[in-house]
C-alpha cells in the first residue's frame, strides 16, 4: 500500500464516558490497537467551543508577532526543550514557545507578563489556560483507557497524578518556494503523551510507519480534531507494548502553519518504571527505572543526539 493511501486511525472520543459501557469497551480496543500499531491516532472531540479556538488562534498569531527580544525571554534554564526554540539552521522555518505547568494560572500569567510587559494579556491568559485544561481532559481519557486496557486499573490514579503539563505553541513559516521544505526534523516525543491541535488548515504532519518504510500524512480532517502521539516514556511504562513513532513536519506553499501541543510529562522526582505485572518471560524488562529529566539531559548530549535509540542507550535493561 502506498503512503498516499495510508492514514492514521480516526477515533471518535466525543462524549465518551463509562456510563456507555459498550462504547467505552469498543473505543478502548480501538485506542489500544492504534497505539500498538501506529503510536498515534486522530481523535475527534467536541470539547473545544469555536469561540475558544478562535481566541487562542488570535492570541497565538499576536504572540509570534512579538519582537524576537521579547520571545527570547521565554526560557527555563534547567529544563531542556521547555522555552523558546527557533533560529536553527537545520529547521529555519520552525519557531516555538513553551509554558511549563500549563494548567497553572500563575504559570500562564507569568508567561503573558513576559510576552506583553507592563500590562500582560488577561484574555490570552484566561482562554489559553482553559484551552490547555480542555486538551488535558483528552490526554487523561486516553491514558486512563490505555492503563485499563492493560488490566492495571489500580495504577490509574497513580499514573495520572504523577504527571504535569508543558504546552508548546508552534509556528512553521511558509517556505514560499515551489518545493516542500522540512519544518521539523524526524523525532520521537520523549514525554508520556502528546495532544496536537492544528489551528489552521495548513497540513504537514507525517508519521513513520512501524516498519520504518513509509511516511503517513496526518492531515487534519476537522478543525476540531486532534492528533494523539505516544511518547517514549509511556512506551517504557508499558514495557514496550505500545509504539512511540517517529514524526516530522513538512511544509509548502505561502501560508504559515500554526499548531499547539500539550505534553504530559512526569513530575520532578517521579521515576518512570514499568509495573511488575507487565514484566514476564514473554515480556522481559526493556528499561531500568529512570528519571525523566535526567533522560532529557542525556538527549541533549552529543551521545544522545546521535543515538538511534536514546532510551535504550540511557537505561536499557
- In this structure, the strands spanning 10-12 and 40-44 are parallel
Residue range 193-212: mean pLDDT, rounded: 95
In this predicted structure, the answer to whether residue 171 has a pLDDT above a threshold of 90 is: yes
CB 164 within 8 A of CB 77: no
pTM for the whole structure = 0.95
Mean pLDDT of 110-117: 96
Per-residue buried b or exposed e for 157-177, using 16+ beta carbons within 10 Å of the residue's own CB: eebeebbbbbbbbbbbbbbee
The answer to whether 248 touches 229, Cβ cutoff 8 Å, is no
Is residue 263 within 8 Å of 228, Cβ to Cβ? Answer: no
| Cβ(166)–Cβ(82) below 8 Å | yes
Task: State yes or no: pLDDT of 232 exceeds 90.
Answer: yes
- pLDDT score of 4: 52
Q: What is the mean pLDDT of the chain?
A: 93
What totals of helices (H) and strands (E) does the chain contain, helices first? 10, 14
Give residue limits of the domains in the chain.
Answer: 10-281
DSSP string over 136-204: HHHHHHHHHHHHHHTT-GGGHHHHHHTEEEEEEEEEE----SSS-EEEEEEE---SSEEEEEE-SS---
pLDDT of residue 178: 82
For domain 10-281, the CATH class is: mainly beta
Q: Are strands 205-208 and 247-251 parallel, antiparallel or unpaired?
A: antiparallel
Phi, psi for residue 276 in degrees, rounded to 5: -60, -30
238, pLDDT greater than 50:
yes
pLDDT the model gives residue 1: 42
In angstroms, rounded to a whole number, what is the distance separating the alpha carbons of residues 18 and 15?
10
Q: Alpha-carbon distance 57 to 124, whole Å?
A: 10
Residue 2: pLDDT over 50 = no
Question: Is 80 exceeded by the pLDDT of residue 21?
Answer: yes
Sign of CA pseudo-dihedral 110, 116, 165, 76: negative
pLDDT (tens digit, 9 = 90+) per residue, 27-85? 999 999 999 999 999 999 988 999 999 999 999 999 999 999 999 999 988 887 789 99
pLDDT digits (tens, 9 = 90+) for 243-254: 999 999 999 999
Residue 193 has pLDDT above 90, yes or no: yes
Look at residue 199 in the predicted model and tell me its pLDDT.
Answer: 92
Cβ atoms of 207 and 245 within 8 Å: the answer is yes
Amino acid at each position: 500500500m502506498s503512503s498516499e493511501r495510508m492514514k492514521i486511525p480516526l477515533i471518535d472520543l466525543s462524549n465518551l464516558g463509562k456510563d456507555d459501557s459498550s462504547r467505552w469497551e469498543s473505543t478502548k480496543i480501538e485506542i489500544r490497537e492504534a497505539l500498538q500499531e501506529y503510536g498515534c491516532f486522530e481523535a475527534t472531540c467536541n470539547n473545544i467551543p469555536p469561540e475558544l479556538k478562535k481566541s487562542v488562534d488570535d492570541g497565538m498569531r499576536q504572540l509570534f508577532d512579538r519582537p524576537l527580544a521579547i520571545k527570547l525571554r521565554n526560557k527555563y534554564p534547567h529544563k531542556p526543550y521547555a522555552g523558546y526554540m527557533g533560529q536553527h539552521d537545520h529547521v529555519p522555518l520552525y519557531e516555538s514557545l513553551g509554558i511549563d505547568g500549563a494548567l497553572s494560572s500563575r504559570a500562564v500569567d507569568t508567561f503573558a507578563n513576559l510576552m506583553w510587559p507592563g500590562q500582560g494579556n488577561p484574555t490570552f491568559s484566561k482562554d489559553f489556560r482553559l484551552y490547555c485544561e480542555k486538551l488535558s481532559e483528552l490526554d487523561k481519557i486516553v491514558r486512563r483507557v490505555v492503563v485499563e486496557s492493560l488490566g492495571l486499573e489500580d495504577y490509574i490514579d497513580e499514573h495520572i497524578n504523577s504527571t504535569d503539563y508543558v504546552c508548546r505553541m508552534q509556528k512553521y513559516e511558509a517556505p514560499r518556494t515551489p518545493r516542500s521544505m522540512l519544518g521539523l526534523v524526524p523525532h520521537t516525543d520523549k514525554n508520556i503523551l502528546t495532544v496536537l491541535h492544528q489551528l489552521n488548515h495548513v497540513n504537514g504532519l507525517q508519521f513513520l510507519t512501524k516498519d520504518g518504510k513509509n511516511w503517513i500524512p496526518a492531515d487534519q480532517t476537522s478543525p476540531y480534531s486532534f492528533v494523539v502521539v505516544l511518547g517514549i516514556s509511556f512506551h517504557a511504562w508499558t514495557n514496550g507494548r505500545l509504539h512511540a513513532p517517529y514524526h516530522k513536519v513538512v511544509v509548502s506553499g505561502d501560508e504559515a502553519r500554526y499548531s499547539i501541543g500539550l505534553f504530559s510529562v512526569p513530575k520532578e522526582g517521579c521515576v518512570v518504571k514499568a509495573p511488575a505485572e507487565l514484566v514476564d518471560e514473554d515480556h522481559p524488562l526493556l528499561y531500568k527505572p529512570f528519571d525523566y529529566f535526567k533522560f532529557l539531559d542525556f538527549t541533549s548530549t552529543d551521545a544522545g543526539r546521535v543515538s538511534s535509540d536514546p532510551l535504550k542507550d540511557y537505561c536499557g535493561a
